[in-house]
Amino acid sequence: MQAPHKEHLYKLLVIGDLGVGKTSIIKRYVHQNFSSHYRATIGVDFALKVLHWDPDTVVRLQLWDIAGQERFGNMTRVYYREAMGAFIVFDVTRPATFEAVAKWKNDLDSKLTLPNGKPVSVVLLANKCDQGKDVLMNNGLKMDQFCKEHGFVGWFETSAKENINIDEASRCLVKHILASECDLLESLEPDVVKPHLAPPKVVSCSSCAKS
């Protein structure tokens, strides 16, 4: 088999309130397992997921699992640096975690933009959908509108427990990041392209297929 000749490395943040399932989503996505035992994340954890995006392209995702208790703290600014995208997670059984979503998004947008000034791609995850849909039922038809108003590129009902929609949400985020990277590379002069945005092996953009 021929080796893929395009490689992308993206740092992705996973943020949201305490106990919404950030660690569980990453564990499910990367290690294909789930535990109902809750242990709060301290600070930040990391995981790596390798996606064979197409026969020609490998995407490496460096997932930053940021503790919910770090919310809006000074530490998060350091964690956000050079991220290309994020998942903001809430728990469908706890309305307060949905109410915090806009604050997480505003915090992220105020601390992190791409070098061309545009916001990074963010997907909203309505997690624990195996447990009921209290929040979604209340907000029902407004989810699409909410995402549009707050600049999310998409949203998914997910369950780390039942493995629902996690792969799909990730593919959606990566698709948007590939497109925004394409924009970025076009808008920046070659001498100011930062190394992390243009890894040496990137020879063309897979999302717009320009060489």
Ligand X SMILES: Nc1nc2c(ncn2[C@@H]2O[C@H](COP(=O)(O)OP(=O)(O)OP(=O)(O)O)[C@@H](O)[C@H]2O)c(=O)[nH]1
- By the criterion CB under 6 A, which residues form the site for ligand X? 18-24, 35-36, 38, 40-41, 67-68, 127-128, 130-131, 159-161
Residue pair 155/143 in contact (Cβ under 8 Å)? The answer is yes
Pick between residue 35 and residue 138 the one whose CB is nearest to ligand X. Answer: 35
Using the minimum distance from each CB to ligand X, give the nearer residue, 23 or 121: 23
Contact 77, 113 (CB under 8 A): no
Contact in structure between 66 and 103 (CB atoms under 8 Å)? no
Instruction: Name beta bridge partners: 86.
Output: 13, 122
CB of 166 to ligand X, least distance (A): 9
Query: Phi and psi for 55 in degrees, rounded to 5?
Result: -55, -20
Given phi > 0 = left and psi -120 to 50 = alpha, else beta, which region is 163? left
Of the pair 40, 193, the CB lying nearest ligand X is at: 40
Tokens of 93: 């059984």
Least spacing, CB of residue 170 vs ligand X, in Å: 15
Least distance (Å) from ligand X to the CB of residue 76? 12
Q: Nearer to ligand X by C-beta: 99 or 149?
A: 99
Which residue lies nearer to ligand X by CB, 108 or 197? 108
Amino acid letter for position 34: F
Minimal distance, residue 28 CB to ligand X, in Å? 8
Give, in order, the Cα–Cα distances in Å from 31 to each of 34, 83, 97. 9, 22, 26
Q: Which is nearer to ligand X, 59 or 100 (CB)?
A: 100
Distance of alpha carbon 140 from alpha carbon 134, whole angstroms: 9
Residue nearest to ligand X (CB): 68
Closest distance to ligand X from the beta carbon of 133 (Å): 12
Closest contact distance (angstroms) between CB of 62 and ligand X is 17
Please, what is the Cα angle at 110 between 108 and 111, to 5 degrees?
65
* Both structure tokens of 195: 């190394």
